[in-house]
Amino acid sequence: MSDEPTDAAVERFLDRAAAAFDDYDQGYADADATLAMLRTHIDELSAGVEETDETDGPE
């Protein structure tokens, strides 16, 4: 079993989360928008990890 798809999903999440925080820090987004964006990225990460688990099957 390879963790490469999960690793890619985590990497993508971290990049997007960092970008959301940068937008907030620079004043481009307010706290509510930043939290909504993070929630979206968390949901995407969760779906990506679940999809990877389903395709890997039982060990």
pLDDT digits (tens, 9 = 90+) for 27-48: 999 999 999 999 999 999 999 8
Q: How much is the pLDDT for 52?
A: 76
**pLDDT the model gives residue 3:** 72
Q: Residue 20 has what pLDDT?
A: 96
Question: CA-CA distance, 34 to 7, in Å (whole number)?
Answer: 24
C-alpha distances (whole Å) from 38 to each of 56, 58, 59 are 27, 30, 32
Percent of the chain predicted with pLDDT > 70: 90
